[in-house]
Amino acid sequence: MHFNIRTFSLQFSINNKPVEAAKKLFENHATVILFFMLSMISIASFLYFLSNHLGVAYNDARSHLDIARRVVENLKPGFAQLGSVWLPLPHLLATLTVWNDTMWHTGLAGALQSMISYVATGILIYRILQALGVTLYGRLVGVIVFALNLNIIYMQSTAMTELLLLGTMTAGVYELIQWHKEEKMTRLLMSGLWIMLSTMIRYDGWFLLFFATILIIIQTMRKHNYKTTEGVVVIFGTLAGFGIFLWFFWNLIIFKDPLYFILGPYAAGTQQQQLADAGVLATKHNLPFSLQTYIYAIFYNSGVFTTILAFIGVILFWFDKKISKELRYAATALLAPFIFNVLSLYLGQSVLFVQGLHGNSWFNVRYGLMMIPSIAVFVGYLTQRVKPVRYVILALLLFVTFFSYVNRDAVTIDDAVFGASGKNVSQVSSWLNQHVPNKPGFVLISVASHDAIIFSSGLPMSRFIHEGTGLYWNAAIAHPVHWARWIILRTGDANDQTYRLLHNNREFKNDYTLTDHYPFADIYEIKPQYVKDLHIKPSLEL
């Protein structure tokens, strides 16, 4: 460094070598560096949302945690508690830690997998962009778009299944892209493995399996012949479809019907049918409205500006002759969640309410999250294509992100706190927390309707008699006075199984008093003179 008197200026040189070395170091150790940075964001945000009690705001998050907990601690523990309402992988993973009360009640048992998935998805976006030949800058922009999205940050701090699904699906797509590039069988098998895991998380994975299979058929037919195609599809399908096979098998052995998850009383289709009957499933058989609904969900989750950039990126990508046809075809897998969600809405298999389009409510708007990794990839790619304005794009993205943080613009939080996806059960659960621990006896409750209450009460799972407790449930429904000191139900609501089974029960009508009444449930307590007849310890042989 020196001062030039003639030009009256300070002058110094920066050697390129350290900059290049740092760049090289980053490229060589991108996974480790990204892992470290994303982990920091992940942990910090989990702690933030834990501190403001938003971590388990979703009703579904509490149910996921309870399902896992019932596997390890319950009147009738065991894997059968996994049930058929949701696909099992998130709960299976949560069972590893949910036995610990802190892990259960902080939601960390479920959030942990979301957090790991968040980190992994960030790294995978980087890798996908690398596979597409995008420069370091574009790769990092892609990671930033994903990692700083407030909805993603919130959802990775909860015990919801979205991030795990994103992680496995993105991994499946990444390996699929690599297979298109390298044609190595290991890549295909890895893709199959990740897609298989995604099929055990949500039905979005099933569609990805279908979509990936078509891509594999096209690719193999283009390069080889029918026989080879047949072989490749069988190998891929056997592995990738194994999860689906297991699910059918599970339904067969537990519920005696391989299609129980489709036809059972708690199946999504059954619930959607109720909504359709009530005339609120407006997307069913209405393709334009299904499209509009899902596009709005994407806008609210990813931001309009980011989505528009990604859309431009998709167009440029598709017509980019520098990218091989194989890669372009393979990358269409990134659009699979879009097709799946629009189709689900159209076929009435899914429900999604966007404020403004469906009255004043939010519900399941988080489905729009599914496109964020794809959006991140295409925005990253776009910066590669519009080099003159690539810094401007990043600046504008950060500008909008800044305001999303300032105003806490996360639709997933709104859905959980104000929308139909969240239930404020704090009053009824506080009552349980204050009155139940000091008195012996069981609480009779339906988990299908009130899992959130069980979770928020802070009581051990073994204090509850519910549908999954077999003989206890049957006995308590037949003679509540022998088994249930408290009964939680929603009076007059036929959807509440406890109410449906008990409302004509003589014991329930005569031997219980309504202790308290809350928006989501009522509390009935046995009359004092019958307490002596109660079973207060688990005594049935299951």
Partner 1 sequence: MNKWLANKKIKILGYVLFTFFCALVLTLSVRGLPGNPDTSQLNRLTWKDNGPLELSPERGRYALTYAIAETHKFSFSPDLARFAAPDVGFLNGQYVSLFAPTVSFIILPGYLLGKAVGFAQVGSFAVIALFALFNVYLIRSISIKLGAHPLAGLIAGLVFLFATPAFAYAVTLYQHHISTFIILSGIYLLISFDSVWALIGIWMLCALSISVDYPNFFMMLPIGIGALGRTIIAKKQQYGYVVKIPVMRVLALLTMIIPLAFFLWFNNASYGSPFQLSGTVDRSVQINPNGSPVLESEQVKARLKSAGQPAVIPQKSALGAFNSRLIMQGFYIYFFSPDRGIIVYTPVMLFGFAGLFLALKQKLKYTWLLVAVIGFNILLYSMWDDPYGGWAFGSRYLIPSYGVLSIFLAYILTRLSKYNLFLLFFFAIYVYSVSVNTLGALTSNRNPPQVEAVALSKVTGHDEPYTYIRNLNILNSNESKSIVFDTYATNYMSAWNYYSYVMVLIIVVSAFLLMTLKSVTKGVKHAL
Least separation in angstroms between CB 284 and partner 1: 24
Closest to partner 1 by CB, 291 or 347:
291
Closest to partner 1 by CB, 10 or 494:
10
Least separation in angstroms between CB 23 and partner 1: 13
Least separation in angstroms between CB 11 and partner 1: 5
Closest to partner 1 by CB, 261 or 381:
381
Closest to partner 1 by CB, 414 or 511:
414
Write out the residues near partner 1 by the rule CB under 8 A.
4, 7-17, 19, 296, 299-300, 303-305, 386-389, 391-392, 395-396, 399-401, 403-404, 406-407, 409, 411
Distances (CA, A) of 498 to 422, 448, 465, 474: 21, 10, 11, 11
Asked if residue 156 lies in contact with residue 117, where contact means CB atoms within 8 angstroms, the answer is yes
Least separation in angstroms between CB 409 and partner 1: 5
Least separation in angstroms between CB 141 and partner 1: 15
Least separation in angstroms between CB 40 and partner 1: 24
Least separation in angstroms between CB 135 and partner 1: 16
Least separation in angstroms between CB 117 and partner 1: 25
Least separation in angstroms between CB 328 and partner 1: 21
DSSP 37-94: HHHHHHHHHHHHHHHTT-TT-BHHHHHHHHHHHHHHSSSS-SGGGG-SSS-SHHHHHH
Least separation in angstroms between CB 313 and partner 1: 14
Give the chain's end-to-end CA distance (angstroms, integer). Answer: 82
> Cβ contacts of residue 53 below 8 Å, gap of 6+?
none
**Residue 53 burial class via C-beta count within 10 angstroms: exposed 0-12, middle 13-18, buried 19 and up:** exposed
Sheet architecture: strand order including 512-517: 464-465, 442-444, 484-489, 522-526, 512-517
Closest to partner 1 by CB, 348 or 380:
380
> Cβ contacts of residue 62 below 8 Å, gap of 6+?
56, 159, 451, 452, 454, 455, 456
Least separation in angstroms between CB 17 and partner 1: 7
Q: Is 440 left (phi over 0), alpha (psi -120 to 50) or beta?
A: beta
Separation between Cα atoms, residue 406 and residue 150, nearest integer Å: 11
Separation between Cα atoms, residue 57 and residue 452, nearest integer Å: 9
Closest to partner 1 by CB, 297 or 484:
297
Closest to partner 1 by CB, 8 or 532:
8
Least separation in angstroms between CB 18 and partner 1: 9
Of 309, 400, 299, 413, which is closest to residue 357 (Cα–Cα)? 299
Separation between Cα atoms, residue 345 and residue 367, nearest integer Å: 11
Least separation in angstroms between CB 384 and partner 1: 13
Q: Is 540 left (phi over 0), alpha (psi -120 to 50) or beta?
A: beta
Bridge partners of residue 487, in order along the sequence: 444, 524
Least separation in angstroms between CB 142 and partner 1: 19
- Secondary structure (3-state) at 5: coil
Asked if residue 454 lies in contact with residue 445, where contact means CB atoms within 8 angstroms, the answer is yes
29's tokens: 């150790």
Where would I find the beta strands (DSSP E) of 470-521?
484-489, 512-517
Closest to partner 1 by CB, 385 or 500:
385
> Cβ contacts of residue 503 below 8 Å, gap of 6+?
none
Pairing type for strands 512-517 and 464-465 reads unpaired
Positive or negative: CA dihedral 197, 200, 202, 206: positive
Separation between Cα atoms, residue 243 and residue 69, nearest integer Å: 22
Separation between Cα atoms, residue 297 and residue 348, nearest integer Å: 17
Closest to partner 1 by CB, 328 or 385:
385
Closest to partner 1 by CB, 92 or 357:
357
DSSP 120-143: HHHHHHHHHHHHTT--HHHHHHHH
